[in-house]
Structure 1
Amino acid sequence: MRLIVCSNSAPRWQDCAGLLPRSPGGLVPLLATLLGEHGGDWVCTMPVNGPSRSSGGDGSLRATRRPCGGTPSVALDDGSVQATWPPGGGTPSVALSDGSVQATWPPGGGTPVGAPGDGSVEGPSAMPGDSPGQATLLPGDGTPSGAPGDGSVEGPSAVPGDSPVEVIRLPGDVTLHRLLLPRDVVDRHYETVGVRLLLWLFHYLLDTSRQPDGRLAEAWSGYEAVNRAYADRVATLMTGSPDEFVLVNDHHLFLVPEMLARRGGRRGRIAFFQGLPWCEPDYFGVLPAYIRDRILASLLCADVVGFHCTRWARAFLGCCARYLPGCAVDDGGVTYDGRRTRVTVAPFPLDVAAVERLRDEPATAEWRGRLDREGRGRRMIVRADRIDLWKNLPRGFAAYRSLLEREPGLAGEWWFCAVATPPGRPTERTLALQRECEGMVADLNERFGAPGRPAVSLIYPDLATTRHCVVAALSGADVTVVNPTFDGMNLVAKEALFLGERARLLLSVNAGAYEQLAGHVTPVHPFDVEATASAMLDAMAADDVPAGRAAVRRSLREQDANSWLNRMMGAES
């Protein structure tokens, strides 16, 4: 089998070790695991102003890499750029006819010229490396001229269709293809359509009094352009082999299956996986018809479409039946325009080995000590979320406030530990949400806390040890709250069941994980604050170990990345 995967998010990697991270789960770690085992190609990009991106004073983009070997040489050939670094790191050189200089690329494109003083080159999600890989910059769909290299190399912005592609070869027969796209196009694709339209649509968060608005048509052209750039790159990688499996992921790339299908002549399979929820037909109908119908028709150009749970799959089938005349829908899939698309349920697995590794690392022990000191011997209610609109943090804090108003003495016996990660690309709504959460925590502590003994703590771990903090908190929890309004999956719920020896898990019925875990959790209706408070109080009063915890942990251990891939490929039902 040969894998070609596509995602909007770029992975991190370490050149001696290959793809990173081995975190407990999610799309990027899952794809990293699969490619690490099977090899293949990964086509990806990241918003140009993402958290790992920086620029030089002249507006040029840089990438910094600390490799552990290789002869310093950068060849400039046919517009391509290849680099390696000396042992132990240092500054890369550029081999020119008149001697070595450092190189960068001007914001508008063109030939590499003298670089900032450190000669660094930086790309999104780049991780320091320890041995040479290969990095080649290709203008458009040119042929890689490939030379040993080890740094992330960024090139000039260009219009999609002539987009530079950064090719990075890693150990294990893994090749990354990072599309380097213009900022304005990426903003229209990612921010306007990806976040403000589709992300909010599938979580039932659109302000339908204003959205969609008149700016959507222009933004949609950027969405099409980025999808076309992905399809163009994937098409150059496809060989027509029957054992080829192309896996396209998430709402950023809805049009890629259609654009690949137009090329014809393929023999391998194309799959699409939707990590978000899928909304019901009435709400999906908020989209303009030209977008709504095209998304559906494009997905039906794939051989298989996968979801985290049956509920989202049925909603998708309902949308096909409602909006695509002539399609035939049954429980197993859709027949449309002369072809059959299988629809399957394939929930992401928890990487148990990664969880156990994190649990035993020194950074987790350090966080466990810090949390113990903060808790002052009290029992713990824990939640761990990114500050996203659908994670429903305010109602969780409101439920605890209601509980303390009934029984204020519980604040001396219990501590609510909320581990939070700020959103990577915040909108005005998520920034307002963060301020609201911080205000609610301050009010709870003023009313129910004591000096040196907060009733609630909102903890923002440093980036390097965020996962360690989460694992430490979930391991020590007595009650865990996972109450999203709607969520495609929510792997924190699986982590909580695996790590929590005694903790009761309160899980929203609108989380995709609920279908798989329903027999082992306390269900909560995420919009009902008082019912959540009552469920919280009942869980706090329970002293016994939850029934079936050993069985669910065994079940979680049996699931892995390959079993997920087999479900997508149809090898498992």
Structure 2
Amino acid sequence: MSRLIVISNRVSVPKAAGAAGAQGGLAVALNSALREHRGIWFGWSGQETEEFTGHLNMQRIEGVTTATIDLEPQDIDEYYNGYANRTLWPLFHYRIDLTEYDRNFGEGYERVNARFADSVLPLIEPDDLVWVHDYHLLPLGSMLRQKGVKNRTGLFLHTPWPPTRLLVSLPFHERLVSSMLEYDVIGFQTQEWLESFIHYVSKELGLPITEDGTIDYGGRRIIARAFPIGIDFAEFVEGANSAEAREAHDRLKASVRGRKLMIGVDRLDYSKGLGERFESFGRFLTDNPGQAGDVVLLQIAPPSRGDVASYQQIREDLERKTGHINGAHADVAFVPIRYVNRGYPRSHLAGFYRAADIGLVTPLRDGMNLVAKEFVAAQDPEDPGVLILSQFAGAALQLADALLVNPHSTEHVSETIKRALEMPLAERRQRHEKLLASVCDEDVQHWREEFVAALFGQAEGGGADDTGADDTGAHDKAA
């Protein structure tokens, strides 16, 4: 069986998977996949070095080999804080008003991708499958092709892909997308993001595309397809039944003293719609004064990307809104919003989810959102909580039996909170049963198997191995 070489911006060492702040996203999804696939996970260590050497720090823990490199401060500023998180991230989440275009950012992005390619190259054996992740490394496949890598290579994008009318605002967008077409398989979270990509490739690059999403590019066939990511269902349920989870559940239940509890768990990010969520809860308290003292919102929001100004602004905004709402609706024995800027182990989060009557997951735009799926998995089937989910989260397509809301409408969210609080037990059970079936059946193993199968299938049907590297646009700057 071929090995799996996973390449991502950051690497999560398996032993740290349950550590505080490690919940959700790529780390949770891939640790399990790599344990079963003789994998190597390569990426940035998160550490700085005065001078880049390409030295690999290798570790092997629980059957997973990790390999990391350190980056220079300029690399981190231009590649990570700059192009990745001040250019691509806001643009891909439809926030063109926050998108920054800076030539130095683009040069740093290209430089670090080239350093990744140079460093990972000695680790790749002829039969390996190479699986690159996310917006940080879009041109990496093209750079590996330049260095003679003919392996089956895939890219999975965890974020949304923006509509063409937004993407064309990115300087040199054609070159960036052309470099992505050096992969054999390009995966997206949902059909919506896939369709946006296909529209761009057809309209802006003029490439022929078959009905099954195969793109003809320079004599090569590239598969573009949706692969919705899931959680490690069995592992999460095991953690939810642990002593740590029960203790966290009991502690939180006791603290709310019989009141109804809503919970939100999100990175501190403008795409998560936390400000709009707080305003919606504030409206609920105003519109329903008879229930105002009976409902608590616990919002867990670990800080992220503190060096980026827009993230500093969202933190200040949330602190101001929390103070305003609590000031208007609290009394000496009750505070309606508990706003916590720290992370918790996943077992503790599972206990918190189970204690909650409502899971409030209302991002303005999200590639998938695994918190929604974790909330469903943690519930007691006999007395489940209700999931309120943004219609703009990728997870909404799979979790249609949640209460779907428009997070931009405080009135809609407020009314939906009231509906959830009053929902009869029979309806809660019926909705939860359908949600749980989706989360269980379409878990992370299913996602991994589907993507890897597509890579194998592409090799059988003809891919990069047929023609070798196509260097169209390969040496151009991404910005």
Q: TM-score, normalised by structure 1?
A: 0.74
Question: What are the ranges of 5 or more consecutive residues in structure 2 without an aligned counterpart?
Answer: 458-479
Map of 2:29 onto structure 1: 30
- Is residue 353 from structure 1 mapped to residue 234 from structure 2 by the alignment? yes
Report the alpha carbon displacement of residue 569 of structure 1 after superposing the two structures with TM: 2.6
Which of 140, 157, 166 is the matching residue for 2:57? 166
Note closer, same or farther for the CA distance 1:389–1:329 as it changes in structure 2 (3 Å cut).
farther
CA contact (8 A) 1:344 1:567 kept: no
Deviation, 1:297, is 1.0
Question: 1:282 & 1:488 partners in 2: Cα distance?
Answer: 19
Aligned with 1:516 (options 374, 398, 410): 398
- 1:80 alignment counterpart: none
Partner of 2:6: 5
Amino acid at match of 1:236: P
Q: Is the counterpart of residue 443 in structure 1 residue 324 in structure 2?
A: yes
Structure 2: which amino acid aligns with 1:7? S
**Shift of residue 331, structure 1, vs aligned partner:** 4.3
Instruction: Note closer, same or farther for the CA distance 1:419–1:513 as it changes in structure 2 (3 Å cut).
Output: same
* 3-state SS of 1:180 partner: strand
Q: 1:222 is matched with which residue: 108, 131, 153? A: 108
Distance 2:435 2:112 in 1: 41
Asked if the contact 1:303–1:340 (Cα under 8 Å) also holds between the matched residues in 2, the reply is: yes
Correspondence for 1:177: 67
Kindly state the Cα deviation for residue 492 of structure 1 after the two structures are TM-superposed: 0.9
Q: What code does the residue aligned with 2:140 have?
A: V
Q: Provide, for residues 110-153 of structure 1, a one-character-per-residue CA deviation record: whole Å limited to 9, x for no partner.
A: xxxxxxxxxxxxxxxxxxxxxxxxxxxxxxxxxxxxxxxxxxxx
Whole-Å Cα distance in 2 between the matches of residues 25 and 358 of structure 1?
Answer: 14
Three-state SS of the structure 1 residue aligned to 2:201 is helix
Which residue pairs with 1:374 in the alignment? Answer: 255
- 2:352 is matched with 473
- Report how far residue 21 of structure 1 moved: 4.4
Of 544, 552, 555 in structure 1, the residue corresponding to residue 435 of structure 2 is 552
Partner of 2:130: 246
- Please say if 1:275 is aligned against 2:162: no
Equivalent pair of 2:366/2:394 in contact (CA under 8 Å): yes
5 Å-filtered alignment, 1:43-62, equals 43-48=42-47
Equivalent residue of 2:5, what SS?
strand
Q: CA deviation at 1:400?
A: 1.4
Equivalent runs, 1:43-442 vs 2, <5 Å: 43-48=42-47, 108=50, 157-158=51-52, 162-172=53-63, 174-207=64-97, 211-213=99-101, 216-241=102-127, 244-264=128-148, 266=150, 268-288=151-171, 290=172, 292-328=173-209, 330-442=211-323
Displacement after TM superposition at 1:329 (Å): 5.5
**For 2:82 and 2:409, how far apart are their aligned partners in 1?**
31
> 2:54 touches 2:119 (CA, 8 Å); kept in 1?
no
Does the 8 A contact of 2:13 with 2:66 survive in 1? no
Q: Amino acid of the residue matched to residue 9 of structure 1?
A: R
Q: 2:365 aligns with which of 474, 478, 486?
A: 486
1:250, distance to aligned residue in structure 2 (A): 0.5
Are the aligned partners of 1:395 and 1:529 in contact in 2 as well (CA < 8 Å)?
yes
Determine what percentage of the aligned residue pairs are the same residue. Answer: 27
Whole-angstrom CA distance in 2 between matches of 1:428 and 1:370: 36
Q: Which amino acid in the other structure matches residue 441 of structure 2?
A: E
Structure 2 distance, partners of 1:387, 1:265, is 38
Verify the 8 A CA contact 2:213 2:223 in the aligned structure 1: yes
Which structure 1 residue ranges, 5 or more long, are not aligned?
Answer: 50-106, 109-156
Q: CA deviation at 1:555?
A: 3.4
TM-score, normalising length: structure 2: 0.87
> SS in structure 2 opposite 1:38?
coil
Bigger radius of gyration: 1
Structure 1 residue identity aligned to 2:66: L
Whether contact under 8 Å (1:12, 1:21) holds in the other structure is no
What amino acid is aligned across from residue 320 of structure 2 in structure 1?
A: G
Structure 2 CA distance, aligned partners of 1:532 and 1:380? 16
Q: Could you tell me how far apart the structure 2 residues matched to 1:263 and 1:424 are?
A: 32
8 Å Cα contact 1:327/1:335 also seen in 2: yes
Displacement of 1:35 after TM fit?
Answer: 1.6
Q: Is the contact between residue 245 and residue 347 of structure 2 (CA under 8 Å) also seen in structure 1? A: yes
> Which residue, 485, 499, 506 being the options, matches 2:388?
506
Q: Secondary structure at the match of 1:451?
A: coil
Q: After superposition, give the CA deviation of every residue in 1:393-433 in whole Å (9 maximum; x if it has no partner).
A: 11111111112212212122222222222225452222221
315, 320, 336: which one aligns with 1:455: 336
RMSD after superposition: 2.3
Cα distance in 2 for partners of 1:246, 1:272 equals: 9
How far the C-alpha of 1:196 sits from its partner, in A, is 0.2
SS class of match (2:262): strand
1:245 corresponds to which letter in structure 2? L
Deviation, structure 1 residue 313: 0.8
Deviations 1:310-344 (A, max 9, x none): 11111111111122134436442311121111112
Counterpart secondary structure, 1:457:
strand
